[in-house]
Amino acid sequence: MYVENKIKHPCPLKALKTDPYSLGIFNKKVDFILEPIEYNEVDRCLILAKSINGIVSYILIFEVELLNEVNLDLIYKNFTKFVLELREGNFREAELLIICKEISSSAKEIISTYNQTYIYRPPIKIVINEYS
């Protein structure tokens, strides 16, 4: 229940903002039309709108160096705030993706647990950035 992709890029959020399909994380055939709607350089967060047959859902992408329990909790808090305020509590219409250079084993376990218990929500996805 824990899946991670790997990329190698100095500024992945900027690259995704310019072209969401550029890093190979998203696929035009699967993710259809992706459009960047908000980018926060300070919080290192990018929001993409995903349109499939007129239905719009959102992908929240956060970038951190090391993903551990503490910043996972903070990211999750921001994610739930977004879903409750802007998607009126519909967690099925929002995906969370975290780009990090390293991930702690406890954060991995929490994400894996989340993905196997919240079965009606899209899973939390992890992308490891191997750029150093």
Partner 1 sequence: MYELAYNPTSKLSKLLKNISIDYANFDFINEFFIAQTTRKAVDIYASSDNSHIIFEVKTDRVDEKALQQALYYKDLLLQRLGAKGIESSVYVQIIGKRFSNKLIDLIKKLNILKTQIYLIEYIPIEENKWAIFNYVCRK
The binding site for partner 1 (CB under 8 A) comprises 69, 72-73, 76-77, 80, 84-85, 88-92, 106, 109-110, 113-114, 116-121
Q: By C-alpha distance, which of 66, 39, 42, 60 is closest to 128?
A: 66
Minimum CB distance to partner 1 smaller for 14 or for 81: 81
Minimum CB distance to partner 1 smaller for 31 or for 93: 93
Minimum CB distance to partner 1 smaller for 53 or for 117: 117
At closest approach, how far in Å is the CB of 77 from partner 1?
8
At closest approach, how far in Å is the CB of 23 from partner 1?
27
Minimum CB distance to partner 1 smaller for 85 or for 130: 85
Q: What is the DSSP letter of 37?
A: E
Report d(CA 76, CA 30) in Å as an integer: 25
Q: By C-alpha distance, which of 89, 33, 101 is closest to 63?
A: 101
At closest approach, how far in Å is the CB of 64 from partner 1?
16
Report d(CA 20, CA 22) in Å as an integer: 6
At closest approach, how far in Å is the CB of 96 from partner 1?
11
Structure tokens at 75: 């990211």
Report d(CA 9, CA 3) in Å as an integer: 19
